[in-house]
């Protein structure tokens, strides 16, 4: 059986990736293999079937299949939308040198079966948003920076166990420390979980998992903790009505605020103010 060869390394374009999004009513791409690049076949709508190294792979919506260099595959489908994302293998090798680990080559390129990721709704929106940002005209340097982070997060969240990077479990990653500093520096501006995810430029699942792993709290729990600390400070140092403080620190439900505050401090906001207000101490 003849197998066609598709060769590409990205060097002519000056970028190690290329992608296109296509919609087909009926389509087939005959058996072929890749040289110098691997491919992420990403299905947005409908479904695809592939034969990869003699195995049938079924892909439904929001799935990503990695076709490695030298994998032979054929694909076909009806009424589907897909993105074909090509990534140069020489660039991945350079990236792994910076990471100090051959984690992609060892975990993915050496696997017997082509990896397939099933992506949740929030992460799929993050995925599509990054593809859109990469399609906007801009400098090569800016695109490289965006794609490097996007690719790393996609691999670590959906294709590789993040714990494979040994020795890092006890150390809070720099990006989380930077997020903590950013949250603390927002002053009176209430911060939402969506703001944290956008600032991190990582998918929601990765942010949530990392917060739980390194801080012991989900992002919403961490933000509530910061809000309650700010509320306690305002109760001690201002005479603002408690309802105004509730809204000022970012809660939109007074009952929820009272419940969390009592759980954190053991007393109600009103009792806390009576006990610790600086105005009480001034009067006495």
The alpha carbon dihedral of 253, 258, 259, 265 has a sign of: positive
The reported pTM is 0.58
Q: How confident is the model at residue 137 (pLDDT cuts 50, 70, 90)?
A: confident
Residues 6+ apart with CB under 8 A from 169: 163, 213
Q: Strands 37-52 and 55-59: what pairing? A: antiparallel
Contact criterion met (CB below 8 Å) for 89 and 69? yes
Mean pLDDT on 207-232:
88
In 3D, which of 156, 161, 130, 125 has the Cα closest to residue 143?
Answer: 130
Among 26-35, 158-167, 271-280, which range has the highest average pLDDT?
A: 26-35
Contact criterion met (CB below 8 Å) for 222 and 210? no
Q: How confident is the model at residue 205 (pLDDT cuts 50, 70, 90)?
A: confident
**CA separation for the pair 77, 148 (Å, rounded):** 31
CA 27 vs CA 54, 107, 277, 284: distances in Å: 20, 31, 71, 82
**CA separation for the pair 15, 141 (Å, rounded):** 9
Mean pLDDT on 237-258:
94
The helix/strand count (H/E) of the chain reads as: 12, 7
**pLDDT confidence of residue 103:** 67
Per-residue DSSP letter, 11 = T
User: 21-58, pLDDT tens digit by residue?
Assistant: 989 888 888 898 888 888 999 999 999 999 998 888 88
User: 79-125, pLDDT tens digit by residue?
Assistant: 999 999 999 988 888 877 776 666 676 667 666 777 888 887 777 88
Per-residue DSSP letter, 138 = -
**CA separation for the pair 232, 80 (Å, rounded):** 54
Tell me the residue length of the chain: 284
């Amino acid at each position: 059986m003849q197998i066609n060869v598709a060769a590409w390394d990205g060097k002519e374009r000056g970028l190690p990736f290329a992608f296109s999004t296509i919609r087909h009513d009926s389509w087939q791409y005959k058996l072929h293999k890749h040289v110098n690049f691997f491919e992420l076949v990403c299905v947005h709508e409908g479904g695809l079937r592939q034969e990869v190294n003699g195995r049938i792979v079924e892909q439904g919506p929001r799935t990503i299949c990695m076709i490695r260099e030298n994998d032979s595959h054929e694909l076909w489908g009806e009424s589907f939308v897909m993105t074909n994302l090509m990534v140069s293998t020489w660039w991945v090798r350079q990236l792994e040198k910076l990471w100090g680990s051959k984690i992609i080559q060892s975990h993915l390129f050496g696997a017997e079966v082509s990896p397939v990721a099933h992506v949740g709704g929030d992460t799929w929106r993050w995925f599509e948003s990054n593809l859109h940002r990469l399609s906007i005209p801009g400098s090569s340097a800016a695109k490289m920076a965006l794609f490097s982070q996007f690719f790393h997060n996609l691999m670590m969240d959906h294709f590789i166990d993040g714990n494979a990077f040994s020795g890092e479990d006890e150390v809070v990653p720099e990006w989380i420390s930077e997020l903590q500093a950013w949250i603390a520096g927002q002053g009176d501006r209430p911060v939402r979980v969506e703001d944290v995810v956008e600032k991190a430029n990582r998918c929601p699942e990765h942010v949530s998992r990392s917060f739980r792993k390194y801080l012991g709290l989900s992002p919403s729990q961490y933000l509530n903790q910061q809000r309650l600390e700010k509320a306690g400070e305002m109760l001690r140092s201002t005479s603002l009505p408690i309802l105004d403080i509730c809204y000022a620190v970012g809660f939109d439900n007074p009952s929820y605020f009272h419940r969390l505050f009592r759980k954190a401090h053991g007393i109600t906001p009103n009792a806390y103010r009576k006990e610790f207000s600086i105005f009480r101490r001034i009067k006495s």
